[in-house]
C-alpha cells in the first residue's frame, strides 16, 4: 500500500494519495475536484483558495497534523498583504501536501459553483459559462523563431490550458501586439467556447492578470417591456436588473398590430428592428452604469422573446407570422456576434445566444420557461401558464410536454379596462367586496394598508389612488361574482337587483363603483360591463388554450398549476379560479414561479450545457396551434361563463359557494354584447 499522504477534498468527498510536495491544485486537478484557477497556478489570481482542516476526521479516517501542508510561502504572504486572505485560507497552487490532509473547497473557489435563485422554487443554477478568463505566459518574439504573436498565444493556451482550435477575429488581432507587449507577454484572455462549435474564440485580451471581471446580460425581450439582468459570469451574481418599455409600442400595442405595421408600411420591419436595437443599447449602457462596470466587459448576451420579437430583433420581417401556417424563418437557437445585431454598447466581440422557438406562436420565451420550470421532469401533470399579452402555456410531466400560446390580449395588464393602468404606485392591486354590504375595501401598490385600515388616507390619500392594475381587475371581477353582483354569464346587476347603490347605471348596462375620488379631484374608479367583457375574453382564451392541451393529452384535470411571469406572481390563486382563468385544482396546488422566462435566460447565460439541454427539450415538445384548431373556439365559448359553463370546479366548490343570480333581462340568454376573437 502506498504510504503517500492521503488527501480528502470536501464537499466533493474525492480522495487520493499524492507524493509529498504535490501542490494542492495539482492534486485537485488530478482528482477532478472543482477548484478554480485563472492564472494557472502562478499565485496571482487567488481563485484557488482552500481551507485545510486540522485534527481528527473520523468520518474520513484521517488525522491531520499542523504540518500537513507546506509552510505559508512568500507568494501567499505577498497576496495576503496586498489583498488579504481570510483567516485559515491558503492558495491551493502554493500549498504543498506534506501529510494526510482534509481540504475544503469554499463555494467561491469552485468553478461550477451553484447559484441559488431568489425565487420560491429551489432550483439552483450551476455555473458553467461559455466564456471564461485564462491567464497565460506567451513566449516572447524571437527573430530566430519567426512565428506570429497569435500563433505563440495559441501555443501557450494549448500547453498551459490544453485548449486547442482557437480563433480570433481581425479586431482582436489588431490589438494583440500592443497588449502582449504591455503585459510583458503575460496576458489574460476571455475565451468563448460555444456548445455547438468546437472552436474557441478569443473575445477580449488584457495585459497581465485581468481582475475587472466578466459579465453577461440575460434579456427577456417582451412586446411591452424589455427586462435585463446583468450577471457576473464568474460568480453568477446578478449585479443589476433593469427594464425599459419596448419602443416598438409606438408601432402597435400588440404583436399582431406590429406585424400589420410591417405589412402596411414598406420598410416598417426595419424601423421596428432599429427601434428595439437602439433601446437594447441604451439598456445595456444604463444597466452597466448602475452596476458600476464598463459595458465593454459584457461579453455574452442571451435573449428570450416571443416569435414576433425574435424576428424583429434579428432583422427578419415577421410578416409570415401573421398568417397560417405561421412559419418562422428559423426556429433553431442562434449564436451570433453582437455586432450582427448592432449591439454596440457591449464588447465589440460579445457573443449572443438566442434560445430556440417552439413554434410560430410559441417562442423562445416559452422555451425559457420550460428550461426554468422543467415540466419534462415533473412527476405529476403540471400546467404552466405565463400570462402576458399572449399567454404561453405548457402542459406536461416526464412522459410528454405540450405547448401552445393563446391570444389573451392586454386586458390582464390593465389595458382596455376603463380604469385600468399598469402595475405602478397608486394602482389598486387587491380588492375585497363584503358579500353582505357589497362595500369594497382595497389595497394600492405602494402601501401595505387596506383602504379601511387606520392611517390609509394619510398614507395614500385620494390623490394616491389612480386606477386598477391587472391583478386588481381579476380580483374585482371575481369578488363581484362571489358577492352576487355579477351573474355567471358576466352580466352586472342593477342597484335594484343587487341592493346596493354602488351599482351605477351606464347606458343600458351597469358599473360597480369601487372608489370615488372626485370630491378631491381624484378619479372615479368603476368596473364597467365593458371591463367584464374584456376580462372574459382574456380568461376564456387562456382557459381554452389550457383545455386544448388537456384534450391533446387526453385528460380533463391537471395536478398542479404554475403561474409564471411578473404578473403571475401577483395573481391570487383563489380569484383566478373563481374567474375560471385556470383549471380547477386544490388551491395549494397553484404556485407562482416569478419571472420564469427571465430565469431561463439566466440559466442559459450561466450554464452552457443548459443551451444544449433546451435545444433537446424543445425538439421533444408537442406544439399545438390554437389559431387553426376548431375545438379552440368551442372551448373559448364555453369558458366565457364565470367560472365556466360546463366544466365543474369541484375543488373551488369546497371552499367557495358562488351565488347564482341572473341579471339577464333579455330573456334569451344573451346580453346583446359581441364576442370576438383576437390574437394579441
Ligand atoms: Fe491563481 Fe492559485 S491558481 S493564485
Q: For 237-246, how does the pLDDT look when each residue is reduced to its tens digit (9 = 90+)?
A: 899 988 888 8
Which of ligand 1's atoms lies nearest the C-alpha of 43? 4
CA distance 301 to 218: 6
Q: Does 369 map to a domain? A: no
| pLDDT at residue 414 is higher than 80 | no
What are the φ/ψ torsions at residue 611 (nearest 5 degrees)?
-65, -45
Q: Which of 11-20, 75-84, 187-196, 454-463 has the lowest mean pLDDT?
A: 454-463
Best residue among 28, 45, 103, 110 to mutate for probing ligand 1, ranked by most atoms within 8 Å of CB: 45
CA distance 18 to 100: 9
Ligand 1 centroid – CA 71 distance (Å)? 17
> Can you give the pLDDT at residue 461?
67
Q: Are 16 and 27 in contact (CB under 8 A)?
A: yes
Best residue among 27, 35, 42, 210 to mutate for probing ligand 1, ranked by most atoms within 8 Å of CB: 42
Which of ligand 1's atoms lies nearest the C-alpha of 38? 1
Q: Does 509 map to a domain? A: yes
Domain-terminating residue out of 474, 495, 527: 527
Q: Does 44 map to a domain? A: yes
CA distance 648 to 667: 25
CA distance 1 to 218: 52
Ligand 1 centroid – CA 50 distance (Å)? 11
> Can you give the pLDDT at residue 45?
87
Best residue among 23, 78, 93, 135 to mutate for probing ligand 1, ranked by most atoms within 8 Å of CB: 93
The mean pLDDT of the chain is: 90
Which of ligand 1's atoms lies nearest the C-alpha of 49? 2
CA distance 242 to 229: 7
**Grid-cell match 462596470, residue found:** 293
Domain-terminating residue out of 481, 511, 527: 527
Ligand 1 centroid – CA 180 distance (Å)? 21
Query: Which residues of 324-376 form beta strands (DSSP E)?
Result: 334-337, 351-354
Query: In this structure, what CATH number is given to the domain that contains residue 89?
Result: 3.10.20.30
Question: Considering only CA atoms, which residue is closest to atom 1 of ligand 1?
Answer: 45
Q: Does 403 map to a domain? A: no
- How many domains would you assign to the chain? 2
Ligand 1 centroid – CA 148 distance (Å)? 28
Ligand 1 centroid – CA 116 distance (Å)? 26
| pLDDT at residue 645 is higher than 90 | yes
CA distance 336 to 524: 51
Question: Considering only CA atoms, which residue is closest to atom 3 of ligand 1?
Answer: 41
Q: Does 476 map to a domain? A: yes
Q: Residues near ligand 1 with C-beta < 6 Å?
A: 25, 37, 39, 41-48, 91-93
Quickly state the pLDDT bin for 641 (edges 50, 70, 90).
very high
Q: Does 355 map to a domain? A: no
- How many angstroms separate the Cα of 333 from the Cα of each of 309, 363, 503, 665? 14, 11, 53, 55
Q: Kindly report the number of other CB atoms within 10 A of residue 150's CB atom.
A: 18
Quickly state the pLDDT bin for 458 (edges 50, 70, 90).
confident
Q: Which of 32-36, 222-226, 422-426, 653-657 has the lowest mean pLDDT?
A: 422-426
> Can you give the pLDDT at residue 121?
43
Which of ligand 1's atoms lies nearest the C-alpha of 135? 1
Q: Residue 262: exposed, middle, or buried by beta-carbon count in 10 A (0-12, 13-18, 19+)?
A: buried
> Can you give the pLDDT at residue 462?
59
Mean pLDDT of 328-351: 95
Tell me what percent of the residues of the chain surpass a pLDDT of 90: 66
DSSP labels, 399-468: TEEEEEEE---GGGGTTTSTTB--S-TTEEEEEEE-TTT--EEEEETT--S-TTSTTHHHHT-GGG--EE
Ligand 1 centroid – CA 190 distance (Å)? 17
Q: Does 57 map to a domain? A: yes
Quickly state the pLDDT bin for 666 (edges 50, 70, 90).
low
Quickly state the pLDDT bin for 410 (edges 50, 70, 90).
confident
Span 50-97, pLDDT tens digits: 999 999 888 888 999 999 999 999 999 988 888 888 889 999 999 999
| pLDDT at residue 650 is higher than 70 | yes
Best residue among 46, 79, 134, 210 to mutate for probing ligand 1, ranked by most atoms within 8 Å of CB: 46
> Can you give the pLDDT at residue 89?
94
Span 41-58, pLDDT tens digits: 888 888 899 999 999 888
User: What is the extent of the structural domain holding 433?
Assistant: 419-527
Domain-terminating residue out of 76, 109, 142: 109
Q: Does 89 map to a domain? A: yes
Amino acid at each position: 500500500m502506498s504510504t503517500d499522504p492521503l488527501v480528502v477534498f470536501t464537499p466533493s468527498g474525492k480522495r487520493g494519495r499524492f507524493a509529498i510536495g504535490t501542490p494542492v491544485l495539482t492534486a485537485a486537478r488530478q482528482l477532478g475536484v472543482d477548484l478554480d484557477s485563472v492564472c494557472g497556478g502562478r499565485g496571482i489570481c487567488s481563485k484557488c483558495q482552500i481551507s485545510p482542516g486540522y485534527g481528527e476526521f473520523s468520518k474520513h479516517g484521517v488525522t491531520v497534523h499542523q504540518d500537513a501542508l507546506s509552510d505559508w510561502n512568500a507568494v501567499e504572504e505577498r497576496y495576503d498583504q496586498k489583498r488579504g486572505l481570510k483567516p485559515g485560507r491558503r492558495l491551493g497552487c502554493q500549498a504543498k501536501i506534506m501529510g494526510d490532509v482534509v481540504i475544503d473547497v469554499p463555494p467561491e473557489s469552485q468553478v461550477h459553483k451553484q447559484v441559488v435563485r431568489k425565487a420560491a422554487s429551489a432550483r439552483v443554477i450551476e455555473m458553467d459559462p461559455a466564456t471564461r478568463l485564462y491567464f497565460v505566459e506567451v513566449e516572447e518574439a524571437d527573430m530566430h523563431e519567426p512565428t506570429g504573436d497569435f500563433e505563440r498565444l495559441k501555443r501557450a493556451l494549448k500547453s498551459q490550458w490544453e485548449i486547442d482550435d482557437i480563433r480570433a477575429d481581425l479586431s482582436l488581432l489588431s490589438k494583440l501586439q500592443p497588449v502582449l507587449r504591455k503585459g510583458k507577454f503575460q496576458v489574460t484572455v476571455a475565451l468563448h467556447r460555444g456548445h455547438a462549435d468546437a472552436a474557441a474564440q478569443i473575445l477580449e485580451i488584457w495585459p497581465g492578470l485581468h481582475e475587472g471581471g466578466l459579465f453577461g446580460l440575460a434579456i427577456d425581450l417582451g412586446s411591452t417591456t424589455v427586462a435585463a439582468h446583468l450577471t457576473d459570469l464568474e460568480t453568477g451574481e446578478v449585479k443589476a436588473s433593469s427594464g425599459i418599455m419596448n419602443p416598438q409600442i409606438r408601432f402597435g400595442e400588440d404583436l399582431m398590430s406590429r406585424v400589420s405595421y410591417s405589412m402596411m408600411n414598406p420598410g416598417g420591419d426595419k424601423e421596428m428592428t432599429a427601434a428595439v436595437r437602439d433601446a437594447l443599447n441604451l439598456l445595456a449602457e444604463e444597466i452597466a452604469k448602475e452596476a458600476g462596470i464598463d459595458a465593454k466587459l459584457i461579453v455574452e448576451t442571451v435573449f428570450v422573446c416571443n416569435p414576433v420579437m425574435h424576428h424583429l430583433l434579428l432583422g427578419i420581417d415577421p410578416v409570415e407570422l401573421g398568417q397560417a401556417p405561421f412559419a418562422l424563418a428559423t426556429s433553431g437557437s442562434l449564436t451570433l456576434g453582437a455586432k450582427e445585431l448592432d449591439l454596440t454598447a457591449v464588447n465589440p466581440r460579445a457573443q449572443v445566444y438566442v434560445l430556440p422557438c417552439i413554434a410560430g406562436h410559441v417562442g423562445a420565451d416559452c422555451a425559457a420557461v420550460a428550461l426554468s420550470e422543467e415540466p419534462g421532469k415533473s412527476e405529476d401533470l403540471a400546467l404552466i401558464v405565463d400570462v402576458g399579452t399572449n399567454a404561453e402555456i405548457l402542459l406536461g410531466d416526464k412522459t410528454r410536454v405540450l405547448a401552445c400560446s393563446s391570444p389573451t390580449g392586454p386586458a390582464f395588464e390593465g389595458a382596455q379596462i376603463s380604469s385600468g393602468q399598469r402595475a405602478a404606485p397608486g394602482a389598486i392591486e387587491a380588492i375585497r367586496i363584503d358579500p353582505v354590504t357589497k362595500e369594497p375595501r382595497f389595497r394600492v401598490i405602494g402601501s401595505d394598508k387596506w383602504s379601511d385600515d387606520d392611517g390609509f388616507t394619510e398614507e395614500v390619500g385620494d390623490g394616491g389612488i389612480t386606477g386598477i392594475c391587472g391583478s386588481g381587475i381579476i380580483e374585482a371581477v371575481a369578488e363581484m361574482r362571489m358577492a352576487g353582483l355579477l351573474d355567471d354569464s358576466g352580466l352586472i346587476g342593477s342597484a335594484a337587483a343587487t341592493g346596493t347603490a354602488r351599482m351605477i347605471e351606464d347606458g343600458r348596462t351597469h358599473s360597480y363603483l369601487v372608489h370615488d375620488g372626485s370630491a378631491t379631484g381624484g378619479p372615479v374608479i368603476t368596473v364597467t360591463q365593458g371591463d367584464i367583457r374584456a376580462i372574459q375574453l382574456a380568461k376564456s382564451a387562456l382557459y381554452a388554450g389550457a383545455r386544448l392541451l388537456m384534450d391533446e393529452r387526453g385528460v380533463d384535470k391537471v395536478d398542479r398549476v404554475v403561474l409564471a411571469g411578473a404578473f403571475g406572481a401577483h395573481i391570487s390563486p383563489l380569484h383566478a379560479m373563481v374567474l375560471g382563468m385556470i383549471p380547477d385544482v386544490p388551491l395549494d396546488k397553484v404556485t407562482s414561479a416569478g419571472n420564469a422566462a427571465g430565469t431561463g435566460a439566466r440559466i442559459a447565460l450561466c450554464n452552457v450545457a443548459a443551451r444544449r439541454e433546451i435545444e433537446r427539450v424543445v425538439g421533444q415538445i408537442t406544439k399545438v396551434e390554437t389559431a387553426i384548431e376548431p375545438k379552440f373556439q368551442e372551448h373559448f365559448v364555453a369558458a366565457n361563463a364565470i367560472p365556466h359553463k360546463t366544466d365543474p370546479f369541484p375543488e373551488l366548490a369546497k371552499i367557495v359557494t358562488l351565488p347564482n343570480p341572473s341579471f339577464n333581462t333579455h330573456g334569451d340568454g344573451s346580453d346583446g354584447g359581441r364576442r370576438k376573437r383576437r390574437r394579441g
